[in-house]
Structure 1
């Protein structure tokens, strides 16, 4: 454990430097680093260079590394005898469309008073520049007190996360020796609830598939051909409907291979969170949980695999009515994976399932849309308990070990390529409107986020 007196000094330094820290964040937010838009390629590089300069000014050995896409920022502190830690975040941001729905210009950050407290309003405030800067400000305060940075830190800040991270895996592979640490820290997550910090310890994987079924060489009149000719939309609907049984279980052979039941201790912890499925669904105009029978709501969200139809197209869907047998039908389907499910086997099982429904005079083709396995962290590592205590000390409430229904592939990449687990700790909130107009980040999250990382650093060194 770190020296408690020095930690108090670091926390005091953070308190004294809050205004300057906020100004730095606002400067960073003004850079429109939209990675998906080629028109902003120079802005993405400007974001990387801004970070490099900030880190170099603190004493890190910091460089901007070119990739076939957008740059990576890689920085290191001096070697020592502490446990090596890798800190990951991303500095690119989502596009701002539709611009008309923003209450203020998306790259002119402001601090606003709202009924829920003061917030920083800007694209990237929560996802992920504000979160990333909680790392940097904790390091800054540490150096101001100790005269030097914490040793054995590696910082990796990416510029392509919002565009699918095409350069990330090659970069990790090519630089594995320089990046390998004992544990990764990822800030691109959120709180369990307002005022309740969390450590995400498991992430579902993902398989994405697009299926196209084609029949006749053109749309057919349903009066002339109906009942005789194959209807691709009907074929597709039958295949998709058969993906689940009446109890909500996925019917693909071998689908549940590698899926593990929730450990009893974690089940008790999740039950103690008091999750209200009705209230959660009520936010989006629903009320009754669907899904796999006999499973708790949090189990279904965090610890059970899913099969979902994300979109279907085919035939005539315009105004009025048109009686046709469509020549083509398409669907996009995704599977969330848990435990040790194999994305390649799930993909193959889905394709075999669909093919079994396709008649001989229809054709089918598939298009892959990514695949990654689930990640479950080893919480027996003492670092998890130490970080949990540190978060509780800062927020005044015990931190929760939670799962995430979505996928964060970087955690799987760190395990597969660098051989290390990740600790996912972020301070975003459900109402931050990430990826939407009027994105915000609570000022409390920024301030207490930096203090939280200072506590975690002290606990792990």
Structure 2
């Protein structure tokens, strides 16, 4: 491909591309409520058709998955994985309408699109299509065949995706690799590339009044706490038993299956830290965190990539409205997520949580499972990974290689079920996903488009890996 010419073409058409991306972002698609889901699925199908591909809306027990094909007579085929669903927008502090895709000048970042889904991940999904249009304008056709699998339940734990992948396995296995387009530059402009993802276990711990005490059917007047025990106290004591004061996990056997970082990845991480490529201060500043659990930055980075977590996402019981209302609730609930590293097994982790509560005398506390899927790891030498590394080097010069994504995604479906290598990547910056004022920078969208063109060029040229100097 004539990459410089395509890059120049994208710059000339950027104003139109930006408006197309903003239009896509304005369409709500909240998976937990279903708002706008079906309309957005059809919008994704239209994007595939706009490239000359064929798309179908695949029904599932949950939200539909958009499957598509675009055959170019090319020797290589990429599966484009994506998600069109987003989180709710109920957080306080939005400075713009959450689905307005308004452009605001953010301090230190410049003009930025504020919208739910701007970074996670409708923004990069739409920008991938505008980048492909740029290639078609200059070259006439893409250098690879594309398959598409874009789901509407990723924020709910990809509940329908594994069954879809099994059903469409023969079609999906025609791909040579998988690309998940994403804005991967941090606030300082450093791009990163992850070599896998942690697994996910998301549960509710529910404490209800019963034989142990507490009202069993409804909340009662708070004054009766003199007589009646409170499920909220019981639940908070149970939660406190899971970790120590430093939030180190105390569940028996929880860490037994944790595999240390591979020597090659641990050494590479240390090399990058020594070279100044990893700066925990960027995270602290961007997320308004004054202190990390681990004060030593080197140990903090190793902990992030090698250790599991047990996190309370939400805790609620009784009256949480304005002013006062004295009540003794009959039920208290905590939403908890566990992020698992190799070689942890989700079923063993769940059984360990159950056994821990039972041993502590909390056998009445219910565990309700919402999401449960395993970790995934990727080989550094896979062609799709090497192509993204060369892309970052060509356009930025440096990059961070992360041994694993601290977050979670259903990549085990590609690795274990389909046997396909995958990569997440792209230039561009956005942040505040799952929070108010989610954004992506306007300049970063153009950088992302350019990086997608460069990536396809690097991937189709298929250079051979050159040793271990990847950072």
Q: TM-score, normalised by structure 1?
A: 0.82
Instruction: List per-residue Cα deviations over 1:29-81 (Å, max 9, x = no partner).
Output: 3323333334x3xx433333333233223222233333344332222222645
* 8 Å Cα contact 2:154/2:409 also seen in 1: no
Deviation, structure 1 residue 427: 4.4
2:467 is the counterpart of 1:450: no
* Matched residue, 2:302: 299
* 8 Å Cα contact 1:196/1:397 also seen in 2: no
Deviation, structure 1 residue 22: 1.7
* 8 Å Cα contact 2:41/2:66 also seen in 1: yes
**Distance 1:294-1:307 versus aligned 2 partners, 3 A rule:** farther
* Matched residue, 2:202: 208
Deviation, structure 1 residue 379: 0.9
TM-align CA RMSD: 3.5
* 8 Å Cα contact 1:87/1:156 also seen in 2: yes
Deviation, structure 1 residue 86: 0.9
Deviation, structure 1 residue 371: 1.7
* Matched residue, 1:337: 340
* Matched residue, 1:266: 268
* Matched residue, 1:8: 4
Distance in 2, matches of 1:327 and 1:66, equals 39
Deviation, structure 1 residue 103: 3.8
1:407 aligns to what SS in structure 2?
strand
Distance in 1, matches of 2:248 and 2:298, equals 11
Deviation, structure 1 residue 399: 2.0
| Deviation larger for 69-78 or 212-221 | 212-221
**Distance 1:224-1:161 versus aligned 2 partners, 3 A rule:** closer
- 1:24-423 mapped onto 2 (5 Å cutoff): 24-38=20-34, 40=35, 43-78=36-71, 80=73, 82-97=75-90, 101-115=93-107, 116-180=109-173, 181-188=175-182, 190-213=184-207, 214=210, 215-216=212-213, 218=215, 236=235, 239-244=238-243, 249-262=248-261, 263=263, 264-271=266-273, 272-273=275-276, 275-277=278-280, 280-281=283-284, 286-290=289-293, 296-312=299-315, 330-358=333-361, 363-394=364-395, 396-403=396-403, 406-423=406-423
Distance in 2, matches of 1:323 and 1:32, equals 37
Distance in 1, matches of 2:314 and 2:23, equals 40
Q: TM-score, normalised by structure 2?
A: 0.81
* 8 Å Cα contact 2:307/2:341 also seen in 1: yes
* Matched residue, 1:434: 433
* 8 Å Cα contact 1:305/1:335 also seen in 2: yes
Deviation, structure 1 residue 193: 4.0
**Distance 1:313-1:445 versus aligned 2 partners, 3 A rule:** closer
2:18 aligns to what SS in structure 1?
helix
1:19 to 15, 18, 41: 15
1:363 aligns to what SS in structure 2?
coil
Question: Runs of 5+ in structure 2 lacking a partner?
Answer: 461-471
1:166 aligns to what SS in structure 2?
coil
**Distance 1:383-1:257 versus aligned 2 partners, 3 A rule:** same
Question: Runs of 5+ in structure 1 lacking a partner?
Answer: none
* 8 Å Cα contact 1:248/1:292 also seen in 2: no
Instruction: List per-residue Cα deviations over 1:109-166 (Å, max 9, x = no partner).
Output: 3444444222223333322222012321222122222222233321222233344433
Distance in 1, matches of 2:66 and 2:213, equals 53
Aligned residues: 444
1:24 aligns to what SS in structure 2?
helix
Instruction: List per-residue Cα deviations over 1:268-301 (Å, max 9, x = no partner).
Output: 1452455444664466565333269997111222
Distance in 1, matches of 2:5 and 2:138, equals 7
**Distance 1:443-1:340 versus aligned 2 partners, 3 A rule:** same
